[in-house]
Amino acid sequence: MSFPSVEDQLSVIKRGSVEIVPEKELVEKLKKSKKENKPLRIKLGCDPTRPDLHLGHSVILRKLRQFQDLGHHVILIIGDFTALIGDPTGQNKTRPSLTAAEIKKNALTYLDQAGKILDNEKTEIVYNSEWLGEMKFEDVILLSSKMTVARMIERDDFSKRYNNNETISLHEFLYPLAQGQDSVHLKSDVELGGTDQKFNLLVGRDLQKDAGQDPQICLMMPLLVGTDGSMKMSKSYDNYIGIDEPANDMYGKALSIPDELIYSYFELVTDVSIEELKSLKGRIEKDPRNTKHDLAFTITRMYHGEEAAKGARKHFEKTVINKDIPDDAPEFTFETGSTHRLLDIISDANLTSSNGETKRMMKQGGVSLDEEKIQDPNFEITFNDGDDMALKVGKRKFAKLKAI
């Protein structure tokens, strides 16, 4: 195949990246790759600790896809073995390890969702239990001898826990070594990771040097800030946009991000061209509202298609701007003269995950009946003949309540 020029490849590779270690070596690898017409081996490891992916995960997967589009060989490692250890990155305590059954189930879901971003036909998928699981105890001892305790304690999360007299289990020291051994086994040229993975990626370089290999380039991508505008995107912080979410929810959530995140979202999680990015900053300053709608449309189109994105925009305009109830809202009927607690109606309609969530939303003003906010969890409705009411729960869930 014919690779683009090194300059063109670099402009794509550097898009949104925080750090490339070392960039000069990457340039040399790209020159050699083009000269020999041989693709680089690009590695990304993922531990299937959670079965669902959000746009935060897509940042690194999109970078992997960009390498694919440039013609390089992409290797996605399912860390079924390292997940048994549990990556301590960013943790202030030892992370519980998963069972083999949990890992297998999560991995299947992960691959299905990652396939929405990667070209599956061009992706080599491997499981690191294939080589790490075959190591003998003497192999582990030999591997451990290649890293000092002092070097491990240099790692930010370890040093903080050590200085705070918090527990660090010995097996956690093995995680960076195991991840580095993946690089040795696969002879990777480039490894991708978030900024929180820098230490692990550099360990891979050291182990490759020790094995007589050309050390990999470490490319770090930023951690995507969530819809709240402050914390990294995470389900734990409820500030995420899931890549499997319905189109209407995806569109609405994308519109909820602060204006200052519009550009970074376009850069990190969308497929707009580098040329388009150049004109975005001016558009955002002049018209943030409509530019944010373009962002929401682009993200929704990428995961649901053009027609679904158009439908999501219409749904938003109808339900939020015009404050109408959508035509496809579910309808629930109640016998005339009967009395029901609104909390129970919402629960039976599965509009929230629990009564606790419903009570919280009521308290925060997130539940309304015919546009009147209901904050009393004991509020009751007595259905009279001809009653036809619009129930809204949160920003994007609706239902029609009718008396029969």
Report which residue type is found at 32. K
Dihedral pair phi/psi, residue 365, rounded to 5°: 80, 25
The burial of 59, by beta-carbon neighbours within 10 Å (0-12 exposed, 13-18 middle, 19 or more buried), is given as buried
What are the tokens at 312?
């999501």
Are 330 and 345 within 8 A, CB to CB? no
- Contacting residues for 229 by C-beta, under 8 A, at least 6 apart: 257, 258, 260, 261
Q: Check residue 351 and report its DSSP letter.
A: S
CA distance linking residue 207 with residue 132, whole number of Å: 15
Q: How far apart are CA 141 and CA 41, in angstroms?
A: 28
Q: 86 is written with which tokens?
A: 């549990």
Task: Determine whether the annotation assigns residue 235 to a binding site.
Answer: yes
Distance CA(215)–CA(202), nearest Å, equals 9
Tell me the residue type at 247: A
Contact (Cβ atoms closer than 8 angstroms) between residue 302 and residue 55: no
Answer for the pair 73, 41: CB distance below 8 angstroms, yes or no. yes
DSSP 317: I
Query: What's 5's DSSP letter?
Result: P
Of the candidates 31, 54, 29, the one whose C-alpha atom is nearest the C-alpha of residue 117 is 54
CA distance 314 to 320: 10
CA distance 167 to 94: 7
Measured in Å, how far apart are the chain's first and last C-alpha atoms? 68
The annotated binding site for ATP is made up of 235
Annotated binding site: 235
